[in-house]
Structure 1
Amino acid sequence: MTFLFDIGKVLLDFHFEPSLAKLLPPGTPDAMQRLMVLLEKKDDFEAGRIPVEEYVPWAIERLGSGVPHDDFLHAWRNIFTPVEPMWRVVESLAAGGHRLILFSNTNGIHCPWIFENYDIFRHFPEAVLSFEAGSIKPEPEIYHHAIGVHGLKPAETRYIDDLPANIETGKQLGFRTWQYDLNDHPAFERWLAAELMDGEPVNR
């Protein structure tokens, strides 16, 4: 079977704000506003419309702290924790010979860094990454890109993501989908068991 896996909140949990907040000048009164400005441009950054060499100095200037380039990269990257129950699933699927493909909105600061620092990604020889594809989920373009580049048949491809809008586009294009909830991993395991038995399609 072929599986498309989102990264954030599926394979890796993440929290941007606490890490980036450490870069703000002490006592910054509008700290949350400054962080939100950075994240408002994240979609353009992750769609590849803003290159790393442009985004990073812009973000440092908006933070107002004059932090070194490498300190910003460190803060931007060190936001992740493994979703260990899902890692165990991936290990099992890989051992079973299933085809595993990453399908994620991400950026040139996180990649290839996460692949070099989290061992789980060795099980994903294929990937569709938004900043390389030039579009982001839930835009249909990135799904069509995945279908074309990887020769996918949506009706035979299981797609796991945490965001309702992303899942909805997947459903519209015929993928067999599951909206993953970090707080209810057993529900995902039940769905997966049914899929592996090749039962009736179950979308959620």
Structure 2
Amino acid sequence: MEQKAPRAVIFDLGRVILDFDHNIAAQKIYRFTAKTPNEIYQIFFDSDLTVSFEEGKISPFDFYLRIKELLALRLGYEDFVDIWNSIFFLTPDNLEVYSLAIRLSRHYPTLLLSNINLLHLEYIKKEFSIFDAFNYIVASCKVGAVKPKPVIYKQALELLSLPAEDVFYTDDRPELVQAAKELGINSSVYKGPEKLREDLLGLRFPREVVQ
């Protein structure tokens, strides 16, 4: 029996549709604290505090107050938010994948699945015209769980009203792809737009849509 193409596509956001560099924020914050950029990075982006923020368990202002305390930060809330949001930018590869997502969305349901905090989510909605490529957005800060927790993938499948085997998912982080595979989702590690097109063609998505 000939294999059929999946009936929906799930994209990760960061480093797939939109790029970012956490060091941008760490370097900017450095002027307003006695901590080193590396210490700032660890607290900002590699801590339980950030996970709690991405899961929507603390508010943006409470997150700021906690950061202010941890860094002895000499910076007001609005200025902090501006720096916190300054990490994002679009690359040619991002734009290529965005164009692919637009083409796919004309034939298949598309969904954006992201570990993201509320400040970043609202900022990206306002500043980047990329969400129009997706029928659905599943954000960790709205679900209350981050990838690789199964519940966030299951939320995506529920929105799509499809079984796992009928869905394709791409993400740049291998451990998050593996978590999706364990739920039965067709998944591949994102390694650039050309490899993504190869993966889609390998799953029998139509060439005229993918190319």
Indicate whether the TM-score tops 0.5: yes
The yes-or-no answer on 1:18 pairing with 2:28 is no
Q: Is the 8 A contact 2:33 2:73 kept in 1?
A: no
SS state at 1:178 partner: strand
Q: Is the 8 A contact 1:24 1:65 kept in 2?
A: no
Q: What whole-Å deviation, never above 9, does each CA across 1:166-197 have from its counterpart, x for those lacking one?
A: 1111111111111102xx43111111223344
In percent, how many aligned pairs have the same letter?
25
Deviation at residue 160 of structure 1 after TM alignment: 1.0
Query: After alignment, is 70-79 or 56-65 more displaced?
Result: 56-65
Which consecutive aligned stretches of 4+ in structure 1 deviate over 6 angstroms post-superposition? none
Q: Is the 8 A contact 2:136 2:159 kept in 1?
A: no
Alignment-mate amino acid for residue 63 of structure 1: L
CA distance in 2, matches of 1:10, 1:90: 11
Partner in structure 1 of residue 154 of structure 2:
144
Q: TM-score, normalised by structure 1?
A: 0.87
Q: What whole-Å deviation, never above 9, does each CA across 1:4-26 have from its counterpart, x for those lacking one?
A: 11101111111112223212236
Q: Is the 8 A contact 2:8 2:109 kept in 1?
A: yes
Deviation at residue 156 of structure 1 after TM alignment: 0.7
Unaligned runs of 5+ in 2: 1-6, 207-211
Unaligned runs of 5+ in 1: 199-204
Among 77, 90, 114, the alignment partner of 2:101 is 90
Q: TM-score, normalised by structure 2?
A: 0.84
CA distance in 1, matches of 2:15, 2:205: 26
Q: What whole-Å deviation, never above 9, does each CA across 1:120-143 have from its counterpart, x for those lacking one?
A: 211223111101101110011212
Query: After alignment, is 144-153 or 122-131 more displaced?
Result: 144-153
The yes-or-no answer on 1:9 pairing with 2:15 is yes
Pairwise CA RMSD: 2.1
Deviation at residue 27 of structure 1 after TM alignment: 8.4
SS state at 1:25 partner: helix
Partner in structure 1 of residue 4 of structure 2:
none
Give the total of aligned pairs. Answer: 196
Partner in structure 2 of residue 71 of structure 1:
79
